[in-house]
Amino acid sequence: MTTYTVKLTPEEAARLEPIIRDGSFQTRQVPHARFSGAKPDLHVTFYESGKLVVQGKGTQDFVEFVVEPQVLLSARLGYEDTLEPGRLDPRIGVDESGKGDFFGPMCIAGVYVNRDVLMAWRDIGVRDSKSISSESQVARLAKKIRETPGCVWNVVAIGNEAYNRMHQSNGSVNRVLAWGHARVIENLLTQKHRMSQPPLRAISDQFASSKATVEKALMAAGKTLELVQRHKAEEDPAVAAASILARDEFVTRLRQLGEQYGVVLPKGASDQVETAAREFVELHGTAALARVAKMHFRTSYRVLGLPEPEKKEWRRPGEVDGASGKE
């Protein structure tokens, strides 16, 4: 075993942290991590989401002699199937990339997994792409996922011009996203002949107040699946794999767009992005911006000198008192 993941309670995390900070590990900064430590044959990272990731040749010894007796206070290794019923069920994971990026397309990926696929991934570190800081590492993992025997995958990339038309006609990012999720699921179900067992469900993050938003976009084949939407769905390896494929597709297409127009198109929606958008307009004109950017972002209004629309309060699906969100 060279990779191990487990969800920790706050009490368990409190027991682990002093072990990582006792001087025997070299502590390091990792995006979205509360603490992380490294040894020559071992990397241990605890993320803000509550997930612990242990990697390296020393993984099994660390889990058996430290994590289980000192942190979890129970023996779990080897009992995953009993402790997590359905962990190896055949299923589809769906995730997207580019939703919060001004430049570039929106990319939605779907990945079919079964027992054999999941077992093959135990040692390669498949996890949520947001916890992977290196784009080259995302690319390496995406290649391994695509090449895993038995894994069936599909990516739908909504280019900027198509995205802007869809957003204008639908009036909502969530409706565009729901269409993309439904399209990926339907595309995968046309490849059932490549699946050793039919998927029982499709899992994705909860981006709308109700899964009915996606269910309405599904066609006949997709409606035969149980649709599961939940917060932190990327903790499921099928969704984590989809997040990696979606991110790899987004980064690749964003780079190609920049090469096509002879500019660097930054990720995100920061001041740096706004500066790049102004430079793009100076080079290629205002009409060309819609070919590389999502025009409903406030960035486009500022760059084009248009009055910004009134801000709406954003709420996470199911929340009563949400805070104002970003564009």
**Over residues 33-42, mean pLDDT:** 94
pLDDT value of residue 205:
87
**Over residues 83-107, mean pLDDT:** 87
**Residue 60's pLDDT band (boundaries 50, 70, 90)?**
confident
pLDDT value of residue 83:
42
Q: Which of 83-92, 192-201, 260-269 bottoms out in mean pLDDT, i.e. has the lowest?
A: 83-92
Q: Which of 216-220, 231-235, 293-297 bottoms out in mean pLDDT, i.e. has the lowest?
A: 216-220
Query: What is the token pair recorded at 140?
Result: 């390496």
pTM: 0.72
Q: Residue 280: is its pLDDT beyond 60?
A: yes
pLDDT value of residue 325:
37
Which residue matches tokens 């191990």?
4
- Domains by residue range for the chain, with CATH: 3-83 (3.30.310.10), 91-253 (3.30.420.10)
Query: What is the token pair recorded at 158?
Result: 């909504």
- What is the per-residue pLDDT across 163-217, written as a single tens digit (0 to 9) for each? 999 999 888 898 899 999 999 999 999 999 999 999 989 999 877 666 676 777 7
Q: DSSP letters of 106-149?
A: EEEEEEEE-HHHHHHTTTTT---GGG---HHHHHHHHHHHHHST
